[in-house]
């Protein structure tokens, strides 16, 4: 019998890689198989004489694919791990076994009475876990790593902090990566849950990591054990954090984990995937794990369970629900006992000049999109994406859209341009302003959502009489006594009785803020194709803690387009419905079913009094191309 080849495996803690080496024999096809499976798959793969070096998560994938006894016997080789690789592979094998078993059924390690008793003994007495929170803690304790996909307001922060206290090992740190908007919830969780007489290590506050890499490294070595850092600062301190994760047992939490959904196609995702094998426990938190498609879930699962192939199953089209099984928890709004929100769709006709300009831009966008679909060129896709955003902007704010159009149209003596400028703010913007004033007269504060900063600023000027506050990306975090900060503006909206309106960008303000105690009406001036922005912005006013008997209203304004021209607002409507429906099927959430159903049943915003030929005639008239009538000749 031919002796088996031997493939050595080593772990490099500095580069966070696995190194495969051909130690004995060259009769088996295994080495060629390893090369074929890895070379070209990543820029981090390195091949030298008789050695192959790959990122550690990829090394785990290789071990999973070829490391079973039957595979090694069939291919006549054996893996031989050395040093730290041996312990890491043993941990990985145990996690694969537990994950596979847990997908079908969970083995409860601590019941709910034991959870309450253990938390109370630690000083977790100022807040009592609600039944659905106890259930989620119980389930997450049964997993080595967990995903919490509960709706905003369900207490994901509280559940995760309780989970940390119950799973904490001696010397283990607690490290949270998230958007800055989420920091206040983490910074206040200690005082809201832990009694003053609790042990000092339980009462330890979070240290917010800021500054240069050398300063952050000193903070990490200071003796503190609980840390917060933003995703952006994480990237700027990647080496410092990787060294920290490698030397220190860490419970790592990704808050708003969908921000890494692009995986290897983004710096943020690539970094997190590379270090995913280092923390001793990993948890991801997000209410919208699939904002665009099932692929968004793949990178998050690869981070949570590196090397186990769950992400590959998603990429191959396996239903996300089938891939996940019981590997996540989800608390729905119906479980929170929150009354359903009422969604109202309101369609608004365009003014004549707006209609004509929309027709021009629509035709150019259609031409570009047709070319992209045919060619599939990435540069064309980027240009087409800009065209789509311009059409979205135009459907709401034609004057603003003019500034981004070609110089030929924007600076010529075009009758279309003149008429658009003469018409002023769009009929939709005026309708939303009138609606906000109507609510204000009834004593009801309102939040207006728009995806474009300049449109937001235009609405701020239009609604100056309501003393509005604005929240968008350029508004900095800071002290709530400073009116120029995010916190100061939120405080004014809550406390100033003359401030009846907040105008916000959902990408900047859709996370980490609560408006439900003072505001129960939201108006969407426009929406993007990103379901996360829509769903999470709704949750700012529709969440746990609503006063009894409160009615929450969501108003979605859509621009009506002439028949045959097509409404981009309706396109957004359809795509959001599809994405929310996919999320509903993954999470088995009846509340998401209601949201998707409302989108599906919304009327098509089409102006049946005007058709495509009417638009063509209007353009001819405005541009002086219309035929002269016999009466005018006379």
The predicted-structure confidence for 533-543, as pLDDT tens digits, reads as follows: 899 999 999 98
In this predicted structure, the answer to whether residue 51 has a pLDDT above a threshold of 80 is yes
Mean pLDDT is lowest, of 261-275, 320-334, 584-598, 616-630, for: 616-630
Assign 606 a pLDDT band (cuts: 50, 70, 90): low
Q: Which pLDDT score is estimated for 313?
A: 93
Task: State the angle between helix axes of 156-167 and 131-141 in degrees (0 to 180), rounded to the nearest 10.
Answer: 40
Residues present in the chain in total:
634
Q: Which pLDDT score is estimated for 172?
A: 97
Query: For strand 445-449 and strand 250-255, is the pairing parallel, antiparallel, or unpaired?
Result: unpaired
Compute how many other C-beta atoms are within 10 angstroms of the C-beta atom of residue 601: 10
Assign 629 a pLDDT band (cuts: 50, 70, 90): very low
Residue that wins the pLDDT comparison between 405 and 533: 533
Mean pLDDT is lowest, of 411-425, 553-567, 579-593, for: 411-425
Query: How much is the average pLDDT of 289-302?
Result: 90
In this predicted structure, the answer to whether residue 564 has a pLDDT above a threshold of 90 is no
Q: Which range in 18-27, 277-286, 416-425, 590-599 is most confidently predicted, on average pLDDT?
A: 277-286
Assign 272 a pLDDT band (cuts: 50, 70, 90): very high
Residues 281 and 252: beta-carbon distance below 8 Å: yes
Q: Which pLDDT score is estimated for 29?
A: 87
Assign 371 a pLDDT band (cuts: 50, 70, 90): low
Question: Which one is the CATH code of 5-82: 2.40.160, 3.30.70, 2.20.28, 3.30.450?
Answer: 3.30.70
Assign 40 a pLDDT band (cuts: 50, 70, 90): low
Domains 131-331 and 342-621 share a fold: yes
- Is residue 56 exposed (0-12), middle (13-18) or buried (19+ Cβ within 10 Å)? buried
- What is the helix (H) or strand (E) element at residue 607, kind and residue range? strand 606-611
**Predicted confidence (pLDDT) per residue in 120-168, tens digit:** 999 999 999 999 999 999 999 999 999 999 998 889 999 999 999 999 9
> For the chain, how far is it from start to end, CA to CA, in angstroms?
108
The fraction of the chain above a pLDDT of 70, given in percent, is 90
Q: Which pLDDT score is estimated for 90?
A: 93
- Per domain, the residue ranges of the chain are 5-82, 131-331, 342-621
In this predicted structure, the answer to whether residue 631 has a pLDDT above a threshold of 50 is no
CA–CA separation, 413 vs 428, rounded Å?
Answer: 26
Query: How much is the average pLDDT of 415-431?
Result: 92
CA–CA separation, 298 vs 9, rounded Å?
Answer: 27
Q: Compute the mean pLDDT over every residue in the chain, rounded to the nearest whole number.
A: 88
Assign 49 a pLDDT band (cuts: 50, 70, 90): confident
In this predicted structure, the answer to whether residue 490 has a pLDDT above a threshold of 50 is yes
- Quick one: 342-621 is in which CATH superfamily? P-loop containing nucleotide triphosphate hydrolases (3.40.50.300)
In this predicted structure, the answer to whether residue 379 has a pLDDT above a threshold of 60 is no
- What is the helix (H) or strand (E) element at residue 227, kind and residue range? strand 226-230
The gap from C-alpha 155 to its chain's centroid, in whole angstroms, comes to 18
- Please provide the DSSP assignment of 529-554 as one string: S-HHHHHHHHTTTSSTTPPTT---EE
In this predicted structure, the answer to whether residue 617 has a pLDDT above a threshold of 80 is no
Which residues contact residue 216 at a Cβ distance below 8 angstroms, ignoring those fewer than 6 apart? 209, 210, 229, 233, 237, 240, 241
CA–CA separation, 296 vs 298, rounded Å?
Answer: 6
Query: For strand 281-285 and strand 207-208, is the pairing parallel, antiparallel, or unpaired?
Result: unpaired
Question: Which one is the CATH code of 131-331: 3.40.50.10800, 3.40.50.1000, 3.40.50.10810, 1.10.730.10?
Answer: 3.40.50.10810
Query: How much is the average pLDDT of 581-587?
Result: 89
* Cα→Cα distances 327→157, 173, 195, 522, 591, Å: 18, 23, 32, 34, 21
Residue that wins the pLDDT comparison between 608 and 424: 424
In this predicted structure, the answer to whether residue 31 has a pLDDT above a threshold of 50 is yes
Assign 530 a pLDDT band (cuts: 50, 70, 90): confident
In this predicted structure, the answer to whether residue 378 has a pLDDT above a threshold of 60 is no
Residue that wins the pLDDT comparison between 362 and 579: 579
In this predicted structure, the answer to whether residue 98 has a pLDDT above a threshold of 80 is yes
**The pTM is what?**
0.85
């Amino acid at each position: 019998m031919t002796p088996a080849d031997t493939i050595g495996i080593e772990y490099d803690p500095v580069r966070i890689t696995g190194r495969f080496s051909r130690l004995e024999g060259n009769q088996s096809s295994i080495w060629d198989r390893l090369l074929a499976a890895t070379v070209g798959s990543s820029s981090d793969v390195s091949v030298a004489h008789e050695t192959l070096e790959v990122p550690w998560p990829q090394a785990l994938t290789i071990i999973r694919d070829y490391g079973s006894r039957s595979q090694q016997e069939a291919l006549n080789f054996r893996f031989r791990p050395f040093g730290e690789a041996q312990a890491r592979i043993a941990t990985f094998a145990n996690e694969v076994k537990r994950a596979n078993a847990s997908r079908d059924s969970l083995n409860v390690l601590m019941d709910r009475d034991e959870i309450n008793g253990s938390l109370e003994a630690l000083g977790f007495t100022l807040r009592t876990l609600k039944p659905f929170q106890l259930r989620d803690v119980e389930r997450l304790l049964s997993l080595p790593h967990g995903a919490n996909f509960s709706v905003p307001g369900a207490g994901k922060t509280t559940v995760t902090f309780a989970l940390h206290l119950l799973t904490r090992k001696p010397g283990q740190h607690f490290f949270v990566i998230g958007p800055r908007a989420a920091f206040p919830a983490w910074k206040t969780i200690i005082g809201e849950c832990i009694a003053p007489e609790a042990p000092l290590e339980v009462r330890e506050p979070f240290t917010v990591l800021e500054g240069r890499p050398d300063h952050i490294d000193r903070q990490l070595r200071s003796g503190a054990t609980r840390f917060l850092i933003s995703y952006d600062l994480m990237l700027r301190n990647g080496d410092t954090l990787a060294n920290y994760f490698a030397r220190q047992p860490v419970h790592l939490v990704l808050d708003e984990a969908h921000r890494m959904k692009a995986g290897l196609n983004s710096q943020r995702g690539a970094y997190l995937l590379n270090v995913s094998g280092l923390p001793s426990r990993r948890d991801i938190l997000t209410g919208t794990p699939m904002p665009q498609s099932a692929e968004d879930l793949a990178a998050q699962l690869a981070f949570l369970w590196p090397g186990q192939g769950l992400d590959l199953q998603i990429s191959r089209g396996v239903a996300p629900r089938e891939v996940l099984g019981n590997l996540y928890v989800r608390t729905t709004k119906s479980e929170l006992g929150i009354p359903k929100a009422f969604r109202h769709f309101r369609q608004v006709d365009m003014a004549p000049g707006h209609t004509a300009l929309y027709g021009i831009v629509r035709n150019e966008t259609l031409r570009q999109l047709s070319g992209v679909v045919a060619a599939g060129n990435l540069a064309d896709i980027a240009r087409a994406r800009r065209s789509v955003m311009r059409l979205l902007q135009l459907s709401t704010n034609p004057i603003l859209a003019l500034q981004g159009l070609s110089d030929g149209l924007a600076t010529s003596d075009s009758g279309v341009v003149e008429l658009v400028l003469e018409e002023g703010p769009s009929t939709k913007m005026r309708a939303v302003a009138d609606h906000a004033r109507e609510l204000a007269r009834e004593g009801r504060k309102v939040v207006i959502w728009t995806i474009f900063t300049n449109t937001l600023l235009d609405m701020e000027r239009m609604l100056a009489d309501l003393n509005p506050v604005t929240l968008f990306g350029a508004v900095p975090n800071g002290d709530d006594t400073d009116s120029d900060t995010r916190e100061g503006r939120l405080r004014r909206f809550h406390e100033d009785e003359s401030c009846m309106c907040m105008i916000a960008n959902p990408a900047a303000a859709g996370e980490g803020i609560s408006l439900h105690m003072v505001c129960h009406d939201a108006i969407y001036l426009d929406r993007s194709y990103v379901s996360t922005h829509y769903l999470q912005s709704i949750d700012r006013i529709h969440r746990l803690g609503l006063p009894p008997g409160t009615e929450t209203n969501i108003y979605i304004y859509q621009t009506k387009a002439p028949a045959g021209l097509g409404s981009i607002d309706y396109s957004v409507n359809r795509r959001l419905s599809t994405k929310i429906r996919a999320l509903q099927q993954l999470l088995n959430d009846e509340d998401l079913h209601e949201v998707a159903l409302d989108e599906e049943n919304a009327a098509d915003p089409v102006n049946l009094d005007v058709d495509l030929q009417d638009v063509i005639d209007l353009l001819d008239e405005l541009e002086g191309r219309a035929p002269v009538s016999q009466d005018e000749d006379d």
